[in-house]
A and B are shown apart, each in its own frame.
Chain A
Amino acid sequence: MMIPTLFVISFLTFFIIELPAGDYISNQIAALKSSGEQSSVAKLEFLRTEFALDRPFFERYLVWIGMWPGPHGFDGLLQGNWGWSFEFDKPVAEVVGPTLPLTVLLNFATILFVYVLSFPIGIYSATRQYSWGDYGFTFLGYIGLATPNFLLGLILLYLFNRWFGLSVGGLMAPEYIDQPWSVDKALSVLAHLIVPTIVIGTSGTAAMIRRLRANLLDELHKQYVTTGRAKGLKERELLVKYPLRMALNPFIADIGNLIPSLVSGSVIVSVVLNLPTVGPVLLTALQSQDQFLAGFILLFVGMLTLVGMLISDLLLAVLDPRIRLGGRASQ
């Protein structure tokens, strides 16, 4: 299921990337021609054939993913060649390579943050419905849902700067840049990851709290809960043993809805907070029409969500015997 989806996504990505008229090199050629320079045009024309930019659309796509012989034989994404970035004049792998681990780390941290925070709050809100705490969290949740995360980033950036004189932007405090790795530097990086995690995760957390609360409330009013209470089960035991397990399923399955929005958020928040993830690179790549770079990043971001969904499916199968055994029974 994942492989065909990936192909569709890669095709979509390529299509979108190729939408603007012309390509990076032909734009360069046009610029050079208008300024009257003829000498380097030949070199650029050579580059155009080198990157198979002079071929028809479908052929270009197949060359890009490595299923059609390009100028150097089969050499595309499938063979591990991510293409060439014209803007940075480096292979794409070298441009985005250092940013990939941080991107994955940031998104992973955010998912963890969302779950760790929304789980207890959701349970609290559902079991103490209409209490002050519940109202407070609901209110905060609405604010969290309504504030776009990049604005939240901007506001936090301003407030931290104003109150604590801290620079929250960037990956680490300025004095550690170009320093060898040390405990202090690692701590600084960690401290700088907290704010973006909160910023990206807030709206997701708010949505998750709402959902868990609704699910749990549905379960809590069912008869088996009353039965359990009548049997004399302790409140806590009763909650953990039955309704919580029922409400947990949609909670886990929701990763699928959560991840695309988190990845979206991480892209723009990274731009605002000046984090070295793929976000800012994507922005420059798009602005300068650096097609292979932008295409690869879009594909990577799409893959990130697919992998996340796969993980959520696996988790569900582990947690819920009905899904695990249902599949086997039907075979």
Chain B
Amino acid sequence: MTDHLDKNQPQPGGVVEHYVDPTPFDPVTTEEMTPEQERYYQASQWQIMWWKFKRHKLAVWSGVVLILFYLCVPFAEFIAPYTANTRDNAHLYSPPQSVHLFHEGSFVGPFVYGKKSEVDLNSMKWVFTEDRSQVQPIRFFCFGDEYKFWGLVDGSFHLFCPAEGGTLFLLGTDRLGRDVFSGLVYGARLSLTVGLVGVTISIVLGLFFGGIAGYFGGLADNLIQRVIEIMRSLPELPLWMALSAALPVTWSPVWIYFGLTIILGLLDWPGLARAVRSKLLSLREEEYAKAAVLMGAKPQRVITRHLLPGFTSHVIASATLSIPSMILGETALSFLNLGLRRPSVSWGVLLNEAQNISVVTVYPWLMAPVIPIIIVVLAFNFLGDGLRDAADPYK
């Protein structure tokens, strides 16, 4: 450091020589950026977020898993080999059939062995044994069980179906001989959308109340803050239970479904409203927001045009994190018989069959819905974490 000083700085009292760099000065070259830098600076906010999100491997894979699950929502009829309420009276409580590839050493392709059933007169139960002589190859892209696609168009085309005259119960059947796997696929339709619809409601409410509290402050802020505090101090589940018990029994399944999502959304908004409020409080002090106000913009315009884009990403991230709690809420309510009921199928409705422990001990495959629930909730948590990290791209 001192060395450097000695060379370039004039000695005290010495003559300062006038020095001019002979090379021509071109401002363009000195400020030129590498192509990567340029790309980064020119990219939009969302572009940078996407880059940041992509680095979060776990979140990306969770997103892929979720997309796969959500494919069941539009194409449930096509993916499931049976419909959710098809009964097979010959196969009550039939255990899962495992898929094999080789039969007696030779390759057959994916197939299942048939089932022989007999009544055990001591325990008064059907006993199923694998019949090794019966090879039932699984058919792909085939015509099987008839359904009404989205309740509108008749069809019978499936991704895969059992052999002619055979059965294909990948996860066994329940008390009335309904295929559990098909139930899961159909159940995804309601279970997975409950979270999305509920979160939409909660976002609308959260933006509205959080926006009022954060932008206007003062009395409105105080009032809304108190309401949020009280709502957060109440245990969610008993309230959900009470509210969904209030849904009239005479309602059709569709209305019950919407009633449920509204209930789930109604109790979820305080968390979002709080996030919106704190974000607004800090954003409205920014120069660009002040400029807009000074130029005479109305509050609605300032909030929606200038402030909202600043925290959309945060809202999306925290909404993603609250979807799993809604999915779990619906599951819990349906499990307790307070939510959806047959003939509508959700994972909670399926779990309802597993309420009695003595049944579960004998027929453990009735607990199958537990697995997709855990996977989906985990995936949403990881995805939400990734989104939250990416939500602030300029950090």
Contact = CB atoms under 8 A, between A and B. Distances in A.
Contacts of B367: 154-155, 158
Nearest to B370: A151
Contact of A305 (B233, B337, B364, B382): B233
A16 B246 contact: yes
Interface residues of A, number: 50
A305 B234 contact: yes
Interface residues of B, number: 38
Interface stretch (A177-185, A220-228, A234-242, A279-287): A279-287
B357 A169 contact: yes
Interface string A263-285: 11101100110000000001100
Contacts of B374: 143, 146-147, 151
Given A5-B230, A20-B248, A158 B237 contact: no
A156 B355 CA distance: 13
Contact of A19 (B241, B246, B331, B378): B246
A17 B242 contact: yes
Nearest to B324: A146
A217 interface: no
A286 B338 contact: yes
B328 interface: yes
B239 interface: yes
B286 interface: no
B108 interface: no
Nearest to A151: B370
A282 B381 contact: no
Given A9-B230, A20-B245, A264 B235 contact: yes
Nearest to A165: B361
A92 B354 CA distance: 31
- Which residue of A146, A256, A261, A298 has the most chain B CB atoms within 10 A of its CB atom? A146
- Which residue of B236, B243, B246, B364 has the most chain A CB atoms within 10 A of its CB atom? B246
B347 to A, nearest CB: 10
A8 B246 CA distance: 20
B371 to A, nearest CB: 10
A205 interface: no
Contact of B236 (A9, A264, A289): A264
Given A148-B373, A260-B236, A268 B230 contact: no
B377 interface: yes
Nearest to B333: A268
A134 to B, nearest CB: 16
B332 interface: yes
Contacts of A123: none
A9 B234 contact: yes
B360 interface: yes
Contacts of A297: 238
- Which residue of B238, B355, B381 has the most chain A CB atoms within 10 A of its CB atom? B238
B246 A161 contact: no
Given A16-B243, A142-B378, A297-B238, A287 B354 contact: no
Contacts of B336: 268, 271, 283
A230 interface: no
B39 interface: no
A301 interface: yes
B181 interface: no
A306 interface: yes
Nearest to A273: B357
A19 B328 contact: no
A146 B233 CA distance: 22
A5 B324 CA distance: 29
A21 interface: yes
A298 B234 CA distance: 9
B328 A148 contact: yes
A157 interface: yes
B235 A268 contact: no
B75 to A, nearest CB: 26
Contacts of A63: none
Contacts of A150: 332, 335
B381 A294 contact: no
Contacts of B233: 5, 256, 260, 302, 305-306, 309
Contacts of A256: 233
Interface in B352-372: 354-355, 357, 360-361, 364, 367, 370
Nearest to A158: B360
Given A146-B324, A148-B373, A154-B360, A298 B337 contact: no
27 contacts: A5-B230, A16-B239, A16-B242, A21-B248, A146-B324, A147-B377, A151-B331, A151-B351, A154-B360, A154-B367, A155-B367, A155-B370, A260-B232, A260-B235, A261-B236, A264-B236, A265-B237, A267-B235, A267-B237, A267-B238, A268-B335, A271-B336, A283-B241, A283-B336, A286-B241, A286-B245, A287-B245
State the 4 A-B residue pairs at the shortest beta-carbon distance, nearest first. A264-B237, A19-B246, A286-B245, A263-B235
Interface of B: 230, 232-239, 241-243, 245-246, 248, 324, 328, 331-332, 335-338, 351, 354-355, 357, 360-361, 364, 367, 370, 373-374, 377-378, 381-382
Interface of A: 5, 8-9, 12-13, 16-17, 19-21, 142-143, 145-148, 150-151, 154-155, 157-158, 161-162, 169, 256-257, 259-261, 263-265, 267-268, 271-272, 282-283, 286-287, 289, 294, 297-298, 301-302, 305-306, 309
Given A20-B248, A305-B233, 7 more contacts: A16-B246, A19-B246, A142-B382, A143-B374, A151-B373, A154-B370, A264-B236
